[in-house]
Amino acid sequence: MMSAQSPVRARILDSAGRLFGADSIRSVSADKVIADAGTTKVTFYRHFRSKDHLVVAYLDGQLDDLRAAAEAQRTAGGDACAVLLRLAAANGEIACRPGFRGCTFINAAAEYPADGVVRDAVERYRTWLHEVVTGLLVELGADHPDVVADQLIMLRDGAMVHGFMGDPAAVADALVTAGRAIITAHLPAQQHP
């Protein structure tokens, strides 16, 4: 097995990420990634057993980046509510970027069947996200934190789709405002943000 630190592997993943972001995961062939990365099929398949395994490595890398960003939000200070609001604002800003094509994980879930390694990678992300949001809601003392986490994640998912299909400029403020309303509805009165 090749090291995750291999420069060739990193170059292939960089090419895949750029191509997946510009088009769609399914429409980008392994041959297109190979050509963009300036490598050979033999080298590609030495690092990835299949295109699906490349997609999994790409998604897992995206999850690692999100974990680091969430941890940075936690260490930036403030209570759990402040962290949730900063995460919502960051998601809104992502949806407002030029060229935004929707959430990588939602897109992958839409493009791949439910019973494969790619959907397993999407599920790892969804599980992590739910755990982070639920943990913050528990810290806040929210009623039914699992249910509220589901509501906030549905709101985030909708914002990502709206950022791609609707008016991206409206996403950031709307996401924070709606998220604050959901959280407030489930907190004791003295804790309203």
Q: Which CATH architecture has domain 1-48?
A: Orthogonal Bundle (1.10)
Q: Note the pTM of the prediction, 2 decimals.
A: 0.87
- What amino acid is encoded at 191 in this protein? Q
Domains of the chain by residue range: 1-48, 59-191
Say which CATH class 59-191 falls into: mainly alpha
Q: 100 CB contacts (<8 Å, ≥6 apart)?
A: 94, 163, 164, 168
pLDDT in tens, 170-189: 777 888 899 999 999 998 87
The whole-angstrom separation of Cα 123 and Cα 178 is 25
pLDDT in tens, 56-97: 999 999 999 889 988 988 888 778 988 888 888 777 777 667
pLDDT in tens, 99-112: 778 788 999 999 99
